[in-house]
Chains A and B, each alone.
Chain A
């Protein structure tokens, strides 16, 4: 129950941040990626603000031993720079550049009621399911992929 409340509050704050920062406008995101055109550095300010607070908060506000409302931390454990990481990031980057949506802003933009956003999010879910399905099949032969799905 408390976990659900934490999720709701964190999701709401995250969504407010994305809207205020302009990240729910694909034109602003593509403007950041368009270094040869009319470059818009807004995304840099979002990252700077977000990383500054998270970096300090993780170190000084998050309890060391265990989270307040859970029995343990659930952190990503993978450390290897491997092909799935590089290929996945590159594939994601191409889709991000094409549409100007990454997962967070796309989900938030569902609230606009635009069918085009629904189409994007459904396509995104299909892409996620396909890869999850592929990776669950190959897990026995590729153990390095097993522990990486907590992002």
Chain B
């Protein structure tokens, strides 16, 4: 199947997950928030569904491998020092900005949240600028 068709099907699965979580538990499917709620200094008291969601995420590649023979996980594109810096930025940025690609991108846009739409435009612009600088300015 064409990668773009798979991308759209993947998006539909992600949307189905978001609708299911909202209909059943009344919660937004934002990964940074689900993970953040488990962390100090004030972890939430509702740990079990958060841990179960994360377990589901990590189990998905194994299920896919059984169904299709391939887990479809690509290798990192950068070395360890960049991964550490990027990880710190992604963690700090999503905690400060109250969301990531899923919470603001999928759920927030669908709720027509202006905050989320502004956040999505901002992080895509920052990402585009970062790739432009690292690939076409420094990498040129």
Contact = CB atoms under 8 A, between A and B. Distances in A.
Contacts of B28: 74-76, 150-151
B102 A104 contact: yes
Nearest to B128: A33
A131 B32 CA distance: 12
Contacts, number: 528
A119 B83 contact: yes
A50 B24 CA distance: 18
Interface in A69-115: 69-70, 72-76, 78-81, 84-104, 106-112, 114
B52 A7 contact: yes
Contact of A92 (B97, B131, B136): B97
How would you classify the secondary structure of chain B's contact residues: helix, strand, loop or mixed?
helix
Interface of A: 2-28, 30, 33-37, 41-43, 45-55, 57-58, 61-63, 66-70, 72-76, 78-81, 84-104, 106-112, 114, 116-117, 119-133, 135-136, 148-151
Given A62-B22, A85-B118, A19 B56 contact: no
Contacts of B35: 103, 107, 125, 128
B11 A6 contact: no
Is the interface on chain B under 10, 10 to 19, 20 to 34, or 35 or more residues? Answer: 35 or more
From B24, B33, B136, name the one whose CB has the most chain A CB atoms within 10 angstroms: B24
Contacts of B125: 90, 93
A36 B19 CA distance: 35
Nearest to B91: A127
Contact of B60 (A19, A97, A130): A19
Contacts of B25: 3, 6-7, 67, 69-70, 74
Most chain A C-beta atoms within 10 Å of own C-beta, residue among B30, B31, B48: B31
User: Which residue, of A28, A51, A96, A129, has the highest number of chain B Cβ atoms within 10 A?
Assistant: A96
Contact of B10 (A6, A46, A100): A46
Contacts of B20: 6, 9-10, 13
A84 B96 CA distance: 6
Contact of A120 (B37, B87, B119, B131): B87
Nearest to A122: B87
B115 A6 contact: no
A35 B75 CA distance: 21
Interface in B95-135: 95-111, 113-115, 118-120, 122-132, 134-135
